[in-house]
Amino acid sequence: MAVLQGVRGLLQRRGMPQLPLRPDSNKPSPEGQEGLEQYDLKELIGRGSSGRVFRAVRKADQLQVAIKLMGEEAVATHREFEIMQAISHPNLIRALDFFQYNCGAALVLTYVPGGTLTQAVKEGAGFLAEGKAKHLFRLLLEAVSYLHQHRIVHSDVKSDNVLISPDLATLHLTDFGSSRTLRAGDQPLTSTTIDFSAPEVLAGEEPTEKHDVWGAGLCLYYMLTGRLPRSIIRFTCFEDFCDAVQSSAISCSGPHWRAVSDDCKATVRYCLALEKGQRPAIRHREVREVMRKVDLEDSRGLHPRSDGLQPTSDI
């Protein structure tokens, strides 16, 4: 119980609700306890509606990891683990282990220092310079492109799920709790973030690859301006928010956009087209077109590509 007490102690010191106990929590699972006892929990580094994330150290080799503790959602967490185990890309967080314990399930992930894209923008100047924003956007496109080539829809691409290094040089897409594969028989999930939901998803459709493109486009918009074009908190009701997203095209105008290049504005509008069929397919040939438009720094050799390839103008 020492580890569970340590978790509760961390939450209590931060004035946060404690993880719920199952009715039979006085009967610990030997297998789950053994899994959690392999790690020293150091600090709380993130939280969401489905769980909390701690920085931890694996006792066996002192490897720093991130441990995502979920409540009663063991099945969903294991599904997330299976999807993450099947992928490997430098811009995606990897899953290292999964186990159940008294209060739910734990997902062990690679740890990367830094914070979320939301934090990087808020803690800086309130927005990112175009060159830096385009560099990070390219890294995000590479991650999304890799997923789509492997028939995986992330479904929740947003600034809170994008981890950025302190020097703003590297990027990792995380949180696959809403992800699904496009294999026959795989049940779709509908857990998306409202502010980052594409028009068709707000209308009731299941998220597809084009929903991921919308989310990536909003991340670029957010980096360049420090805000989203629309947020539900600015509307009196959900229906008004949906109507605005579904009927009004994104306008890249105003003070925040004066220093942004026309090519970058065009890319934002391309990814945020109201009709999903008009958005780019972020895989194969089309992804090179988008990267060519947004990554002028790469063509000048200022930012080496993470996949080792040189930029190309072939479409």
Binding-site entries for ATP = 68
Return d(Cα 276, Cα 274) in angstroms, integer: 6
* DSSP-based three-state secondary structure for 115: strand
Query: Is the CB of residue 189 less than 8 Å from the CB of residue 178?
Result: yes
Return d(Cα 47, Cα 160) in angstroms, integer: 10
What are residue 95's DSSP bridge partners? 109
Q: Which two tokens stand for residue 195?
A: 């502010």
Binding site, by residue number, is 68
Distance in angstroms between the alpha carbons of the first and the last residue of the chain: 58
Query: Is the CB of residue 154 less than 8 Å from the CB of residue 173?
Result: yes
At a CB cut-off of 8 Å and minimum separation 6, what does 122 contact?
226
Using DSSP, how many helices (H) and how many strands (E) does the chain show? Answer: 11, 10
Query: Is the CB of residue 178 less than 8 Å from the CB of residue 125?
Result: no
How far from chain centre, in Å, is Cα 207?
A: 15
Return d(Cα 18, Cα 25) in angstroms, integer: 14
Of 44, 40, 26, 2, residue with least CA distance to 102:
26
Element (H, E) at 70: strand 63-70
Element (H, E) at 24: none
At 247, give phi and psi (nearest 5°). -115, -20
